[in-house]
Amino acid sequence: MTRALFVELQSDIKTSMINGMSTTMISEKFGVSRGVLSKYRQKWFPDEPRNPGGRPVVVGVKSKSLVRRSLLEGSLLTACDAHKKFLSLGYSLGYKTSLNVLKSMGFHSRIKHKKPMISHTNMEKRYRWAKKYQYWTVDDWKRVVFSDETKVNVWGFDG
């Protein structure tokens, strides 16, 4: 258990903290460790906001929202496009950093699924076909033969 500081020293330290003096300067001035000062600061000012620490944020909130909107609207399609947008906004950051920023915004990399182009007419025909047969039972479908007319050679090839 540590012993408490003298009351006069405590009041001088508290006055210095109220006047906005840094912890390092107070520590050097009064010969008290920064850990002790930290404990007294927590005791005297429990609701004081704390510095979260860590590396400062690279990209601002407004720039993030601008890039987010561009990605969702479709004017930016890839992470490379987003990186170029960050550079055009005046940020000097690497590609990997821009990927980390996109991840912090909730975007994750995916490989785009390939899907066939279907014309509007073909979509309507497929929809009508599906509506026509939507109530068929399993027995109804067992009477249907599906063929895709694909030639498959079991032994070798035809040249």
Structural domain boundaries in the chain: 7-44, 61-104
Per-residue pLDDT band for 159 (boundaries 50, 70, 90) equals low
Q: Could you give the CA distance from residue 28 to residue 124 in angstroms, rounded to a whole number?
A: 80
Closest CA to 32 of 44, 48, 16: 16
Per-residue pLDDT band for 5 (boundaries 50, 70, 90) equals confident
Q: Could you give the CA distance from residue 99 to residue 109 in angstroms, rounded to a whole number?
A: 9
CA angle 53, 59, 65 (to 5 degrees): 120
Query: Above 90 in pLDDT, residue 25?
Result: yes
pLDDT tens-digit map of 28-83: 999 999 999 989 998 988 888 877 788 888 899 999 999 999 999 989 989 999 99
pLDDT tens-digit map of 109-150: 888 788 888 899 999 999 999 999 999 999 999 998 887 777
Per-residue pLDDT band for 2 (boundaries 50, 70, 90) equals low
pLDDT tens-digit map of 148-157: 777 777 787 7
Q: Tally Cβ neighbours within 10 Å of residue 124.
A: 11
